[in-house]
Amino acid sequence: MAELLDDPSDWSRTSRLVHALERTHPMGEPDRRRQCLEVAGDRLNVDLNGLVPQNTGTRSQLYEIVRTLDGIPGGLMVLAETIRFFAPGARSTEAFCRHIPPAFVQPALDQAELNEIHELLRTAPKVPVGRIHREARGGYEQLPPGHEDIVLAFNHLTEANARTDGLFPFMVYVEQVAALAPDHLARRLRLWNDTVADGLGLRDTLSAARGALVPVGAEPPDGIAYLAIQIEQGSEDDTEGYLVSSWTKEDVRAPARPDFLDFACSDGDLEMTVERAISSGEASLAGLDTPVQLEFLLGRDLVDLPVGEFATHRSTGLPRPLVRHYQTVIRSLERQRDPSIQRVLKKRWRSMRDTPHECSWHTCGGPAGLSPSALQDVLGRDRDGRVVALALLDAPRKPEPGVIHSYDVALREGVPAMLWTCSSAAAPTLDELATRLFTADQLNLLATKVHELFADHVLVLIDDPNNTYVPLRRFQPPQRRQGHSQ
């Protein structure tokens, strides 16, 4: 940090920034800090967690964060916006943000330029406005409610400051619309952008961005948003406690927006904590006119949690069961984290998604179902990955030493869909229900069908390997012993 020490005014400014940064909630706790840097780095296309030493004290790390981001155009501004995303409205957040001046001055488009671009945009074909806005503004910025119109979304971007490459988000927006427009309209949109870029001295930057542009795809056909809640066991000293984290996604391709992170609660408060996470997630998704799929990320040790019995508004005396209000699925936390089982999972998932009419399913447990060893044999012979669903007549319980459940076999062999019930009264009818639900040509609509049948007693696991919230673990190669010869 020698360059900061050379100028007392720089040192004083850096110290003020670090002092304000230390008081913010997202940066005051190590796990939150890492997540905040991950989001800020994603927006800057920089691996901030890799650049900042992790084995130093909090203050030393914060000084290094400030020094690193101060050297990146707009870096501190992005950090301020990220902290505001994690802790909106907090006084400590606003105190830090007041120390960060805008990196660039927002240019004012004159009325003639606005009239011209509005007219051009109104003649454009239907385009995925939300996805284009996200591409222009950044994956962690949402289109405000009521701005889904192509012109209103553009107007919203004219209020945004420049990106770190100097381009303004509204210019990227115009480029994306042009990439999807007919040739005659595309030429006029790019000409308008060129004229604005010339006035700002950004013509070369715009040309480079245009050459590297990847047009956004159409909106996902499922039209579903996602609210994911991860529940893990608390610390070893708190065996009855839980850690709850949550994310939202506007669609399956959108980045996961973190909300709760390792929120600690007791066993008795778990349902209430889940309700709080859902309320917060609903607020983030309020601008969408699409159904929301609720996803519970559970590890093997908690797969028997009675999430099917959870409800909101229980204090009113008229609770609303989650499985009635939301299309609800279980997700395997191991599959989110373990890279060693991704290949087989993706193979079976592709079969279920692309050729469901060629897929099959099996019943496990009970007097007539497959045993774990028989299931292992069936899946081992299924080299084409056509077995994609299981009905588990014996619901998975907490793992016991030396006891293998069909659920465990299915997890490691990549079966993407499983069905079970925790109700002893409903267990005899599960096989019949599975026959109705696992109709070959509708296997990829399984979550929707369970919800439509109001099968409150049924839990369904569906693991889409393309819809993730938790980063994969990265295994370190074994270290070569010192002195070992080549």
Residues 387, 378: contact at Cβ < 8 Å?
yes
The pLDDT of residue 3 is: 40
* Cβ-based burial of 408 (10 A; exposed 0-12, middle 13-18, buried ≥19): middle
The pLDDT of residue 290 is: 82
* SS3 labels along 108-124: CCCHHHHHHHHHHHHCC
> What does pLDDT average to over the chain?
84
The pLDDT of residue 6 is: 47
CA dihedral 328, 334, 335, 341 (to 10 degrees): -150
The pLDDT of residue 486 is: 45
Summarize the confidence of residues 297-319 as an average pLDDT.
Answer: 90
Of residues 30 and 193, the one with the higher pLDDT is: 193
H runs (alpha helix) in 45-182: 48-51, 58-70, 75-86, 91-97, 111-122, 129-137, 150-157, 169-180
Of residues 305 and 444, the one with the higher pLDDT is: 305
Distance CA 99, CA 70 (A): 12
The pLDDT of residue 239 is: 61
Answer yes or no: is pLDDT of 242 > 50.
yes
Question: What are the pLDDT digits (tens) for 268-285?
Answer: 999 999 999 999 899 888
The DSSP letter of residue 282 is: H
Question: What are the pLDDT digits (tens) for 41-64?
Answer: 877 767 787 777 777 778 888 888
The pLDDT of residue 229 is: 96
Cross-strand partners of 332: 298
Q: What confidence tier does 238 reach under pLDDT thresholds 50, 70, 90?
A: low
The pLDDT of residue 5 is: 42
- For residue 21, give the H/E element and its range: helix 8-23
Question: What are the pLDDT digits (tens) for 408-438?
Answer: 999 999 999 999 987 766 666 788 888 888 8
The pLDDT of residue 103 is: 54
Of residues 457 and 241, the one with the higher pLDDT is: 241
Answer yes or no: is pLDDT of 262 > 90.
no
Q: What percent of the chain has pLDDT over 90?
A: 35
Of residues 103 and 74, the one with the higher pLDDT is: 74
Q: What confidence tier does 455 reach under pLDDT thresholds 50, 70, 90?
A: low
Answer yes or no: is pLDDT of 346 > 80.
yes
DSSP, residue by residue, 186-221: HHHHHHHHHHHHHHHT-HHHHHHHHHT-----PPPT
Answer yes or no: is pLDDT of 182 > 60.
yes
Summarize the confidence of residues 432-459 as an average pLDDT.
Answer: 78
The pLDDT of residue 289 is: 73
Answer yes or no: is pLDDT of 161 > 50.
yes
Question: What are the pLDDT digits (tens) for 370-394?
Answer: 999 999 999 999 999 999 999 999 9
**Backbone φ, ψ for residue 303 (5° rounding):** -65, -15
Question: What are the pLDDT digits (tens) for 462-476?
Answer: 999 989 988 766 555
Distance CA 309, CA 295 (A): 14
Question: What are the pLDDT digits (tens) for 203-228?
Answer: 999 999 999 888 887 555 557 899 99
The pLDDT of residue 1 is: 38
The pLDDT of residue 348 is: 95
Summarize the confidence of residues 107-113 as an average pLDDT.
Answer: 81
Of residues 43 and 127, the one with the higher pLDDT is: 127
The pLDDT of residue 477 is: 53
Summarize the confidence of residues 288-307 as an average pLDDT.
Answer: 91
Q: Mention every residue, 6+ apart, whose C-beta is less than 8 A from residue 277.
A: 229, 244, 246, 259, 260, 263
Joined together, the tokens standing for residue 276 give 């709080």
Of the listed ranges 70-84, 244-258, 425-439, the one predicted with least confidence: 425-439
Angle (CA) 171-174-176 rounded to 5° is 110
The pLDDT of residue 56 is: 74
